[in-house]
Amino acid sequence: KTEFSHIEEVIKRVALANFAVAFTLVHNDKTIFQLPAADTDQLREEGVAKVCGKAFMQHALAIENTATGLRLSGWISQPTFSRSQSDMQYFYVNHRMVRDKLVNHAVRRAYHDVLYSGRFPAFVLYLEMRPDEVDVNAHPAKVEVRFREGRLVYDFIAKTLKQAIAEVRPTADTMPAYSANLNK
């Protein structure tokens, strides 16, 4: 069971990096999930929903920003959709899945004022940049990278996400339910 959960996670990561490829995961003659090739925004969103869950996509903000040779796109969760662990955080640099401390800190910084301590945002983000601006050989497993202009990347990610979060306006279905007597 443990090995299968690791395999499932690898397939999810690869699928999110390669929307143009169809994926089917079968375990013990049972189809676990099937992702068709996605060549439209709607099909990509459906694929993300199959990997991350419909609830994520219902509470997701689409991100797209380009500046100073960097392009950030994807989806981040609204602050009302947070998790108790960082298990739904997918970040890609030039279509390569990475786990990077600088990126994670930039994301935490963007959510700093809107998430309770111990809660984690969910996201599927894609950073595109010139290949010579990032070193993919920073870790033997190729999951960590080094950015030539780390501060620029950090500021770009944090500012883009913070701006998207700031544009969210509370609605009846995103506000916590409570009752109060204001006449007292």
If DSSP codes are grouped into helix, strand and coil, which group holds residue 45? helix
Long-range residue pairs from 11-19, CB within 8 A, at least 24 positions apart, any chain: 12/51, 12/90, 13/90, 13/97, 14/97, 15/47, 15/51, 16/47, 16/48, 16/51, 16/90, 16/92, 16/97, 16/124, 17/92, 17/95, 17/96, 17/97, 18/95, 19/43, 19/44, 19/47
User: Do residues 114 and 106 make contact, with C-beta atoms less than 8 angstroms apart?
Assistant: no
pLDDT at 142: 67
User: 156 and 67 in contact (C-beta within 8 Å)?
Assistant: yes
**pLDDT score recorded for residue 184:** 38
Residue located via tokens 């910084």: 109
Q: What is the pTM of this model?
A: 0.87
Structure tokens at 37: 């090739």
**Would you state the pLDDT for residue 171?**
57
Three-class SS of residue 130?
Answer: coil
* Cα(49)–Cα(69) distance, integer angstroms: 29
Per-residue tens of pLDDT for the chain, all 184 residues: 899 999 999 999 999 999 999 999 999 999 988 999 999 999 999 999 999 999 999 999 999 999 999 999 999 999 999 998 988 999 999 999 998 899 999 999 999 999 988 899 999 999 999 999 998 877 666 677 889 999 999 999 999 999 999 998 665 454 444 333 444 3
